[in-house]
């Protein structure tokens, strides 16, 4: 029996619309990461992008459990000595809620070229409006 390797012409990519209202950040991010990689499809191939496009709306209504809003800190470094900066999850939720979801999903994707390619298929918007109506996204409910 030969090993199956997916090719771009073997599959089609769907567009999914996810409403992040009252969703827990980590649980939402794991489901999104799985869809972006294509692990829900029987033709999943680890080194090939077989996943779908995901549109996330209402990012400002995402929920963080426990005391993460006060205690979790997102770090970044400019590359210069002393250039490390930290932003609390509470401040990030107020200023850039899209980046909060994008950061959680990025941590669950491969740390290579494929991961960077997959992250480009994630579209996050803080409000209920998005500019991908032409793609006719399928509403995807994450209940249960």
pLDDT confidence of 85, banded at 50, 70, 90?
A: very high
Q: How far apart are CA 35 and CA 83, in angstroms?
A: 35
Query: Over 60: is that where the pLDDT of 144 sits?
Result: no
User: Which residues on adjacent β-strands are paired with residue 18?
Assistant: 56
pLDDT (0 to 100) of residue 116: 97
pTM (2 decimals)? 0.93
Architecture of the domain delimited by 13-139? Alpha-Beta Complex (3.90)
pLDDT, tens digit (0-9, with 9 covering 90-100), for 7-36? 888 889 999 999 999 999 999 999 999 999
Contact indicator for 38, 52 with CB cutoff of 8 Å: yes
For the chain, the first-to-last Cα distance in angstroms comes to: 37
**Helix or strand (DSSP H, E) at 101:** helix 97-106
**Which tokens belong to 66?**
């426990």
pLDDT (0 to 100) of residue 4: 86
Q: Where are the domains of the chain?
A: 13-139
Q: Which residue has the tokens 């779908």?
A: 52
pLDDT, tens digit (0-9, with 9 covering 90-100), for 106-142? 999 999 999 999 999 999 999 999 999 999 999 998 8
């Amino acid at each position: 029996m030969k090993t199956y390797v997916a090719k771009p012409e073997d599959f089609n990519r769907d567009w999914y619309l996810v409403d992040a209202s009252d969703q827990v950040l980590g649980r939402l991010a794991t489901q999104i990461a799985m869809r972006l990689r294509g692990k829900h499809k029987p033709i999943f191939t680890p080194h090939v992008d077989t996943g779908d496009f995901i549109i996330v709306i209402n990012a400002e209504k995402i929920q963080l459990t426990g005391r993460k809003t006060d205690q979790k800190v997102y770090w970044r470094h400019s590359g210069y000595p002393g250039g490390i900066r930290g932003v609390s999850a509470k401040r990030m939720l107020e200023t850039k809620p899209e980046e909060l979801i994008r950061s959680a999903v990025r941590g669950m994707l491969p740390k290579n070229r494929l991961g960077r390619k997959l992250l480009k298929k994630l579209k996050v918007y803080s409000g209920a409006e998005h500019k991908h109506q032409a793609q006719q996204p399928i509403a995807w409910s994450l209940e249960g």
